[in-house]
Chain A
Amino acid sequence: MALDASVRDAVLAAVPGLRAFAISLCGNVDRADDLVQETLLRALANIDSFQPGTNMSAWLFTILRNHFRSEYRKRRREVEDSDGSYAETLKSHPEQHGRMEMEEFRVALAKLPSDQREALVLVGASGFSYEEAASICQCAVGTIKSRVNRARTRLSELMAIDGVDDFGPDRTTRAVLARNERA
């Protein structure tokens, strides 16, 4: 099989984002990389069905998500968050506080229902529009919007409880009260 250079480059360029999305689905780096590998094999075997000029990244994300839902999802529960391998990948944050915060966030994210989590990741991190995310998830744009909103609401509840010292109500309320007393 000989790949067109532009196709090959577009596939390679999508790999880092595919991995990040796969990790958010699997919660495990090794399984995520296997998922990416199987996605690439499927994609290249069906490269003729890719329409040149359309978004290669969105096409690959769609294949990855479909494959995950058909093959991986049923096995996900047993491995999710079990080995901390995701945390080990957070190497670019040596600063302890940042790492802890990120780990707390990762745990909160993993508590979301998977349809909400994937919608939030696609729109909030992968940089897809609501329309593209809807196409990847094969649902209505309004459904994506409501999943993203519910994900944000749930995360803010989880984080308000878990991270009061960082940005919770106590500090804000105290600051307001302190100002009022001085006035």
Chain B
Amino acid sequence: MEAGIRPGKTEAKLGRDIQAKIGQQLRALYDDVVNQGVPDRFADLLNRLDKPDDKESR
């Protein structure tokens, strides 16, 4: 490895820093989508399917 990572404390600290960063980025990426809420197409879909109507026999 020529990345220059030194064994010992520095490496351990670096590992923790990167792991924290990974967790943070992963949640940010995910939450970015979650925060968009429920798009209309899915709310509409559920509304449509939720009708106890008799037109269902198309």
* Nearest A residue to B28, CB-CB: A102
Shortest Cβ gap from A183 to chain B (Å):
16
> Chain B residue with minimal CB distance to A155?
B22
Q: Check: A56 CB closer than 8 A to any chain B CB.
A: no
User: Chain A's nearest CB lies how many Å from the CB of B39?
Assistant: 7
Size band of the B side of the interface? 35 or more
Contact with B along A30-45 (1 / 0, CB 8 A): 0001001100110010
Contact A89 B50 (CB under 8 A): no
CA distance A44 to B56 in the complex (A): 14
Chain A positions 116 through 144: 1 when the CB is less than 8 Å from some CB of chain B, otherwise 0: 00001100111000000000000000000
B4 engages A167 (CB within 8 Å): no
Whether B50 contacts A169 by the Cβ 8 Å rule is no
Q: Identify A169's interface contact among B5, B27, B33, CB under 8 A.
A: B5
Residues of A within 8 A of B43 (CB): 12
Which residues in A have their C-beta under 8 angstroms from that of B6? 169, 173
Number of A-B contacts (CB under 8 A): 123
Whole-angstrom CA separation of A19 from B35 in the bound complex:
11
**B33 contact from A11, A20, A167, Cβ within 8 A:** A20
Among A1-30, those with CB < 8 Å from B are 1-3, 8, 11-12, 15-17, 19-20, 23-24
Smallest beta-carbon distance B47→chain A, Å? 9
In this complex, the member of A37, A166, A169 whose beta carbon has the largest number of chain B beta carbons within 10 angstroms is A169
Residues of B with Cβ closer than 8 Å to A?
A: 3-6, 10, 13-15, 17-19, 21-23, 25-39, 41-43, 45-46, 49-52, 56
With contacts A93-B32, A167-B17 known, is A173 near B42, CB below 8 A? no
Contact (Cβ within 8 A) B29 A102: yes
Q: Which residue of A lies closest to B34 (CB)?
A: A16
Query: Quick one: which of A16, A91, A93, A167 contacts B37, CB cutoff 8 A?
Result: A16
CB pair B42–A40 under 8 Å, yes or no, is yes
Q: Does any Cβ of B come within 8 Å of A63's Cβ?
A: no
- Tell me whether B32 and A92 are in contact (CB under 8 A): yes
The answer to whether A173 touches B10, judged by C-beta atoms less than 8 angstroms apart, is yes
Q: What residues of B have a CB within 8 angstroms of the CB of A167 in the complex?
A: 14, 17-18, 21
